[in-house]
Amino acid sequence: MRSTLDKLISGTGLLLAAVLLVAGGLLTWANVFIGDQVEEQLLAQDIVMPEGPALGGLSDESVEALEEFAGSPMDTGAEARAYADHYIQSHMNSSGEELAGEPQTYSEASDKARELGAALAENPEASQEQIDEAAAWGELRESLFMGSTLRGLLLYAYAFATMGLIAGYAAVASFVGAGVLLVLGLLGLRHAGRIKASETTATA
C-alpha cells in the first residue's frame, strides 16, 4: 500500500515536471519572440537617444534618465520609455508652457484651437494678433498630436518588452520547478521500489 501511494505521488510529480518543462519552453519562445520584435520595430524608427546639447533645457530628472542611454540607437523597451517620458513629454510640456504658461494636453490645445478658429470665422476683421494666436494654437495642437502618438507607440513597445521580460523570468522559474519535481519524483520512485522490496522480503 505504501509503495503504491509513493508511486502515485511520484508519478504526479513527474507529470507536473513535464508540464512545467513545456510551459518553460513556450515562455522562453515568447521571451525571445517579443524581444526580437520590439528590437526590430524600434530600430526601424531609426531613433538615436539624445545626448549632449540635445539634453539642454530638460529637468535634472530627465537628464539623468536619458544619460544612461545617450547616443545609442533605440532598441530596447527601457530606452523607449525613457525617450517617451523624459524627452518627448518634456518638449510637449515646454511647448504648452511657452504658449499658455502651463503644460497643455492635446485635448486642451485642440479645444482652444477650435475656439479661436471659430472666432476668426465669425470675425472677418480680426486683428493680425488674433490670427497669429489662432495659428499658434493650431501648431501646438498638431505638435501635441504627433508627440502623443509617438509617445503612445513607444510606451506600447515598453509594455511588450516588459511582458517579454516577465515571460523570461517565468520560464526560468518553470525550468527550476520542473527540475525540482523531476528529482523528487525519481527519488520517490526509488523509495517506493525499496519499500516494495522490503514488504516482499517481510512477507517471504
Give per-residue pLDDT as tens, 128-180. Answer: 899 999 999 999 999 999 999 999 999 999 999 999 999 999 999 999 999 99
Cell of 92: 510637449
Residue 202 has pLDDT above 80, yes or no: no
Residue with the three cell numbers 520609455: 81
What residues contact residue 7 under an 8 Å CB cut-off, 6+ apart? 188, 189, 192
**Average pLDDT for residues 115-131, to the nearest whole number?**
88
Q: Is the pLDDT of residue 6 over 90?
A: no
Question: How much is the mean pLDDT over the chain?
Answer: 89
Q: Is the pLDDT of residue 1 over 60?
A: no
pLDDT of residue 198 exceeding 70: no
Per-residue confidence (pLDDT) for residue 186, from 0 to 100: 81
* Residue-wise burial string across 176-187, b where 16 or more C-beta atoms lie within 10 A, e elsewhere: ebbeebbebbee
Lowest mean pLDDT among 5-9, 19-23, 39-43, 160-164: 5-9
pLDDT digits (tens, 9 = 90+) for 178-197: 999 888 888 776 766 666 65
Q: Which has more confidence, 4 or 123? A: 123
Q: Percentage of the chain with pLDDT > 90?
A: 69
Q: Would residue 70 be called left, alpha or beta, if left means φ above 0 and alpha means ψ between -120 and 50 degrees?
A: beta
- What is the phi-psi region of residue 140: left when phi exceeds 0, alpha when psi lies from -120 to 50, beta otherwise? alpha
Return the domain boundaries, the chain.
Answer: 2-203
| CA atoms of 45 and 92, how far apart (whole Å) | 20
What confidence category does residue 125 fall into, taking pLDDT thresholds of 50, 70 and 90? confident
